[in-house]
Amino acid sequence: MAAAAAVYPPLDQRPVKNTVLLFDVDDTLTKPRQLVTPQMLQLLSELRHKCAIGFVGGSNLVKQQEQLGGPVDVTSLFDFCFAENGLTAIRMGEVLASQSFITWIGEDRYKALAKWILHYIADLDIPIKRGTFIEFRNGMINVSPIGRNASTEERNEYQKYDLEHKIRETMVAKLKEAFPDYGLTYSIGGQISFDVFPTGWDKTYCLRHIEAEKGLSGVVYDKIHFFGDKAYEGGNDWEIYSDQRTIGHKVKNPDDTYAQLQELLKSFQ
């Protein structure tokens, strides 16, 4: 794979060195839970010769490796790899300090939250249910009414059902009512689930790592472009998309991302 074999200039020697491009994963760089295309990887490689690039997603690094790297180490394809909104962060292949959701919330409060969620899902009347309704991650939990074990076809069908019946939206509203003092944010993303994390631990969390680059390589990133599809209030791209530190680009799907990036690459020539 050409993208993996390429040698890139150091961050402080990129032609457009004060610019970094950050990407959501699902429905931005890839179709939901699908592999990235060779064409997208090639375009990202061309952009990386010009400026820094990184991804920021809610999933853990294992899932991002599956979608973006495949057989190639995903940390070799991006300068910045931000899993779980940047709570797990890798810069130029080096792991940075991380945060822990369970340490923050405490075992007793987490058990109360998990018990409520599982009871709620048990009582839900939806067409199908599979398994893994709560996925515990380092910096958050991911909640899926249908279960994360659903197949691609089942995910597609559930997404249509959810849009019509607002299953996730209603569940989030009920959670906010049940745990008003927990200091949690509930962020709907992807096709079948939503993330639950401490307020402030959304995708803007990764920006502290971008800003810290000044002390590492001397680069000040004053143009932080972010590309994401869930760039609306309640979507898991909204906070970083609308943050005053970023230049937000709303995309419809990977094809739209590709088209927008081609135009951006032309502007770098």
- Answer yes or no: is 137 a known binding residue: yes
What's domain 101-198's superfamily in CATH? Eukaryotic phosphomannomutase, cap domain (3.30.1240.20)
| Ranges of the chain whose pLDDT falls below 50 | 1-5
Q: How confident is the model over 203-217, as pLDDT tens digits?
A: 999 999 999 999 999
CATH superfamily assigned to domain 2-99+202-268:
HAD superfamily/HAD-like (3.40.50.1000)
Q: Is there a binding annotation on residue 162?
A: no
pLDDT of amino acid 23:
98
DSSP β-bridge partners for residue 143 = 134, 194
In this prediction, residue 234 carries a pLDDT of 82
CB distance 247 to 225 below 8 Å: yes
What is the per-residue pLDDT for 64? 94
Backbone angles phi, psi at 177, to 5 degrees: -70, -40
> Of 60, 55, 132, whose CA–CA distance to 101 is shortest?
60
- pLDDT score recorded for residue 33: 82
Instruction: Report the catalytic residues.
Output: 24, 26
In tens, the pLDDT along 129-163 reads 999 999 999 889 999 999 999 999 999 999 999 99
**Looking at residue 93, what is its pLDDT?**
94
pLDDT at 70: 86
Going from N- to C-terminal start, the domains of the chain cover: 2-99+202-268, 101-198
* 26 annotated as ligand-binding: yes
Compute the distance between CA of residue 225 and CA of residue 240 in angstroms, rounded to an integer: 10
Among 200, 211, 127, which Cα is nearest to 161's? 127
33 is known to lie in a ligand binding site: yes
